Structure 1
Amino acid sequence: MSTNLTRRRFLNATSLAAGTAALATPALAQGGTELKMLTCWPKNFPGLGTSAERFAQRVAAASEGKLRIKVFGAGEVVAPFEVLDAVAAGAGDLTHDTPYYWFGKDPAFVYFAVVPFGLTADEHFTWLKFGGGQALWDELGAAHGVKPLANLNTGAQMGGWFKEPINSAADLQGLRIRYPGLGGQMLARLGATPVNIPGGELFTALQSGTIDGLEWIAPWNDLAFGFHRAAKHYYYPGFHEMGHTISSHVNADVWAGLSDSEQAIMQSAADAEYVTSLAEYNARNLDALNTLVNKHDVELHEWPSEIVAEMQRIAPEVLAESAARSEMATKVHQSWTAFRDAQRQWGEIGDYANARLKQD
């Protein structure tokens, strides 16, 4: 542990609210250092919250307790959409968030979460590790005072919940739908009004009629939030999110103050959790979907082909417009697009899923 790190003191949430500026200051615990993780989800929420805790446990085990992470749920320190600013300011040491929440800071962030009709979870990890994606993410993060890590992927998501069936694009006109990221911008082209609401507030918003529909994640998480009690029409596929990456953005000063071995522990724990979380989502989602359909009478629908075709037409336009909004977004877009196109070539040869489905 560096001398500089041991001299820092921890900024609490009150100082952030008061506007006090200071260096990031991890708490010094008995015989080690404790980092404060600010998450965007309810504490211990299945998948997102439990993965954050498991990541913390990995770090503690690998460091023999010398480096520990204390996980705080959404709203315990700051509101969900404030965690990145809080960590950059030093009121926390790292986040557990999704990069596309920070689209307003720079559109480049969205590429490190998920892009409509984009990369699968495996492909995204490959882009980060072997396609230049992580270097670009590090460059983007440095401009905002953080070091980014990918440490969870939900896999393919669902298309969303609606109170009334969606039979054509016309049925989307005028609907208020919780649909963040570029997927929401695409639906806006069809007349819907996308809104962004933290996960913990979604059920109330849907039940009260504040929104007419929503997209959250997939059956495992959607069942846990009880959306089936407010809407019965559940759509697939989630063309807007084929593999959604969740991240930790570590305060840049905190990261620089860690030793090489501690940085390696954090990176290895994040990598392991990315793979484990994806496996867990794949395992849990089908059971949860069966519960929703067979126990709670949810009506499962495939998106009308008309809407999917419109989304495929609109996606390149939305991506191009987003990429043009900043120099960094343009740079990331070029890397991401080149990698996607290359992966398509390999996928046509190496993906045996369709052949497997043809077997008796």
Structure 2
Amino acid sequence: MDTFKRRNFLKKGTLAVLAASGGLAACRSADSENQAQKTRKSDKIFRWKMVTTWPPHFPVLGENVDKFARLVEKMTDGRIQIQVYGAGELIPAYEVFEAVSLGAVELGHSAPYYWAGRVQASQFFASIPFGMNSQQMIAWILGGGGLQLWQEVYAPFNIVPYLGGCTGMQMGGWFNREINNINDFKGLIMRIPGLGGKVVKKIGGSPITVAGAEIYTNLERGVIDACEWIGPFHDYLLGLHRVAKYYYYPGWQEPGTPLEVLVNKNALAELTDDLKAILETAIMHLHTTIFAEAEAKNAEYLDKLIQEEKKELRRFPADVLAAMNEQLLEVVREMIATDPVSKKVYESYENFRQRAIRYSEATEQSFYRDLQSAKSALKI
């Protein structure tokens, strides 16, 4: 190759490399611009609707959803405006999941076990009878892979779920008949959702699910013989102590019940990164405030029921609890045998529960057992 040709070849090669590198730079520049566009604050105003399973402005739950909407608007400087609708104002209480799934509304607030007929595995993200308590459930969801599974389960329905509160451990419920043995459940009509309802059915009862606003009237008129609602605070506000004789404990059916915020996947995808981060931060604030207020109010109003209303607490007999636990195991076996999704979620749940039990036995359970003999010493 002569000198001219060699120089010409090298020149063309150099230009090709420069062109290629320029192209790469241009691609990088375009990618950077796209990313900047995605993360840049948007001037677009999103006007969203949020429906709940609770009555309008319902104490603790609905009230904090109202505050959540105001907080989001304030934090986004008005770029996300949320109109909240209580149960029955826009849609019926138990159509929240469907409304968010179809995109009729952008947001919902409810409890996962209400969708058992549509998504069987959803029940494991609410509360499993005789299962993990509130702090253990929250730990599994936020730190043990539960949230990722939850989002995977809801993905086919165009919904992204988030942890949206927790009502703590419930009481066993209000009864107009005494429970002395397992046979006392036979023929008993009880308002109870989720897996707890399936257990009641297994032992001969008739579980039904009715909205909170209907519970008092149904119990007063004898349409139902028993019910469980949320906890002492909400039970008191609903007046259940006036239409039922016996208040049983412990809340075997719901030892720790997380709530959920449902977000339509398409609506969420429209948000810029800053708006999405604000929304998720506000949801976490909603979760912590509901959980804290529920714990505080339930402790206060259990005392009120005992001291002021003179209600006598009844403990479920040990053999009744043992029999119900056996039936629960049968219910779960049937679920995971026929539904691979439920099996996957349950295995994650159960693996975490076993570790949580070992830890609890060495810490909290031991601590409270040792305190029994020292209670009087703690009084000032």
Q: TM-score, normalised by structure 1?
A: 0.88
Number of the residue aligned with 1:12: none
Instruction: Flag the 1:358–1:73 CA change in 2: closer, same or farther, 3 A.
Output: same
Of 324-333 and 152-161, deviating more is 324-333
Does 2:144 correspond to 1:144? no
> Is 1:104 the equivalent of 2:117?
yes
Residue pairs, 1:107-122, within 5 angstroms = 107-122=120-135
Task: Give 1:63's match in structure 2, choosing from 59, 76, 92.
Answer: 76
1:325 to 319, 335, 338: 338
Which moves more between the two structures, 150-159 or 281-290? 281-290
Counterpart CA distance in 1 for 2:164 and 2:258 is: 8
Which residue does the alignment assign to 1:355?
Answer: 370
Report the more deviating stretch, 239-248 or 163-172. Answer: 163-172
For 1:300-311, what aligned pairs fall within 5 Å after superposition? 300-311=313-324
The CA deviation at 1:31 is: 6.8
- Deviation, 1:64, is 2.7
Q: 1:240 aligns with which of 239, 244, 253?
A: 253
Map 1:263-342 to 2 at 5 A: 263-342=276-355
2:199 — aligned with what?
186
Name whichever of 268-277 and 123-132 sits farther off: 268-277
Q: Partners of 1:301 and 1:64 in 2: how far apart? A: 51
Compute the displacement of 1:298 (Å): 2.3
Structure 2 residue aligned with 1:158: 171
Task: Name the CA distance, whole Å, in 2 between partners of 1:313 and 1:319.
Answer: 10
- Cα separation, 1, equivalents of 2:373 and 2:114: 40
Q: Which residue of 2 aligns with 1:15?
A: none
For residues 160 and 172 of structure 1, what CA distance do their matches in structure 2 show?
13
Report the residue type matching 2:247 in the other structure: Y
1:78 to 77, 88, 91: 91
Q: 1:221 aligns with which of 209, 225, 234?
A: 234
| 271-280 vs 35-44, which moves further | 271-280
- CA displacement 1:153-188 (0-9 Å, x = unmatched): 001101101112222212111011011111111122
Residue 30 of structure 2 is aligned to residue 35 of structure 1? no
Q: Does 1:176 align with 2:189?
A: yes
Aligned pair 1:344/2:351, yes or no? no
Alpha-carbon displacement from aligned partner over 1:3-39 (angstroms, at most 9, x marks no partner): xxxxxxxxxxxxxxxxxxxxxxxxxxx9732221110
The separation in 2 between residues aligned to 1:198 and 1:125, in whole angstroms, is: 25
Equivalent residues of 1:237, 1:303 under 8 A apart: yes
Deviations 1:18-65 (A, max 9, x none): xxxxxxxxxxxx973222111001111112211212322332232233
Q: Corresponding residue for 1:27? A: none
Change (3 A) 1:245 1:205: same
Whether the aligned pair in 2 keeps the contact of 1:159 and 1:239 (CA below 8 Å) is yes
Contact 2:203 2:324 in 1 (8 A): no
Tell me how far 1:358 sits from its aligned partner: 3.7
Matched residue, 2:224: 211
Please state how far the C-alpha of 1:215 moved relative to its aligned partner: 0.6
Between Structure 1 and Structure 2, which shows a larger proportion of helix residues? 2
In 1, the alpha carbon distance for the partners of 2:47 and 2:134 equals 30
Extract unaligned runs of 5+ from structure 2.
1-42
Could you tell me whether the CA contact under 8 Å between 1:106 and 1:329 is conserved in 2?
no
Unaligned ranges ≥5, structure 1 = 1-29
Matched-pair contact (CA < 8 Å) for 1:162–1:232: yes
Q: Taking every aligned residue pair, what percent have the same amino acid on both sides?
A: 37
**Match for residue 22 of structure 2?**
none
* Equivalent in 247, 265, 286 of residue 252 of structure 1: 265
TM-score normalised over the length of structure 2: 0.83
Q: Is 1:202 aligned with 2:212?
A: no
